[in-house]
Amino acid sequence: MTADLQVRPPGRTASAPRTRRRRITPPWWFILPALLLFTFVVLVPSARGVYYAFTDWDGLDPDFAVIGLRNFTDMLDDGDALQAVWHTLLIAVAITVIQNGIGLLLALGVNSLIKTRNFLRVLLFAPAVITPIVTAYLWRNLLGPDGAVNSLLGAVGLDSWRQDWLGDPDLALWMIVLVVVWQFAGYSMVIFLAGLQSIPREIYEAAAIDGTGALRRFWSIVRPLLAPAITINLMLSIIGGIKLFDQVYALTGGGPGHATDTISTLIYKDAFTLGEFGYSIALAVVLTIIVAIVSAGQYSVLSRNEKAAS
């Protein structure tokens, strides 16, 4: 008499049921509250804003007329608007280049083995946590005709260097760049520092053994591995520079004259000083388009370079 033997996997009993793991996906309606809030707070006002850009609305009168593209065509004949676009692009490019250059140098410095590196990191990053409007008012007092900068120059015998730093049309724009770079160079430093610390120490040691110089190591090893940090920093600084408002308005108010007006300050003036809300909203639409084009183009170029470096 033979008995059929059933071989069972070890650890499994006859009574243990076979269960399949079901992949649980959260219901899509979980996002509905956030989506409704985003629609109400962002999408609807944006759509209404775009509509008002094609009207002559003054911000108060409920009666207004649709004037088509007149607000946009008027910009081409508005010298102040064209000058503001130029100032906006100039400030954005200057901030991007100078801020990231200084931030990279600072990151390379505090990434070394100097004893005070932790203190220096905190000290250099500290201005970034101050509210931009507070920083701007601080520097407006420092750069005033009787401010600390001119007083210091006079105290050391450099009276010929004393300037009306914010009242001179040739200097005011660069003083804005100086203030923004002073505040946010430490922010760029932190992002570069995170990228530097992610590079394995063994790579530096191998390059040093091969006799590679410091500049060669940076260009051939550090720069390609820093590509993600470079992409993030350039994107943040160029977009922030294009949208810059707080520092410009607090330092110069767009003056002297219109020497430091940007698109953002011109939007504010046209809306709340002149009551031309339709025109100011059209300027805001143009600003949005500029930010979208510049950021998309920059991201496309930087992402290709990042893939090539990797």
Return the DSSP state at 25: -
- What's the whole-number mean pLDDT along residues 282-287? 92
The residues, any chain, with a CB within 8 Å of residue 97's CB and separated by 6 or more, are none
**Phi, psi for residue 287 in degrees, rounded to 5:** -60, -45
Query: For the chain, how many residues are written?
Result: 310
Question: What is the C-alpha separation between 245 and 262, in angstroms, rounded?
Answer: 8
Handedness of CA 50, 52, 54, 59 (dihedral sign): negative
CA atoms within 13 A on the CB side of 250: 18
Average pLDDT score, the chain: 87
Model-wide pTM > 0.85: no
Q: How far is CA 256 from the centre of its chain?
A: 26
pLDDT confidence of residue 18: 54
Residue 136's alpha-carbon distances to 99, 195, 264, in angstroms, are 17, 30, 16
Task: Provide the pLDDT for residue 199.
Answer: 85
Domain 47-309 fold is MetI-like fold (1.10.3720)
Cα–chain center distance at 54: 29
Residue 136 has pLDDT above 50, yes or no: yes
Q: How far apart are the C-alpha atoms of 216 and 102, rounded to whole Å?
A: 20
Q: Which residues contact 121 (CB under 8 A, 6 or more apart)?
A: 110, 189, 190, 193
Q: What is the pLDDT of residue 215?
A: 85
Domain ranges of the chain: 47-309
Q: For 81-114, what is each residue's pLDDT tens digit?
A: 999 999 999 999 999 999 999 999 999 999 988 8
- Helix, coil or strand: residue 226: coil
Q: Residue 120 has which token pair?
A: 């220096």
27-54 per-position pLDDT tens digit = 777 888 899 999 999 899 889 889 999 9
Structure tokens at 271: 């809306």
Residue 111 DSSP code: T
How do residues 174-217 score in pLDDT, each as one tens digit? 999 999 999 999 999 999 999 999 888 888 788 878 777 878 88
Q: How confident is the model at residue 287 (pLDDT cuts 50, 70, 90)?
A: very high
pLDDT of res. 127? 94
Buried/exposed 3-18: b ≥16 CB within 10 Å, e otherwise:
eeeeeeeeeeeeeeee
* Residue partners of 130: CB distance under 8 A and separation at least 6: 183
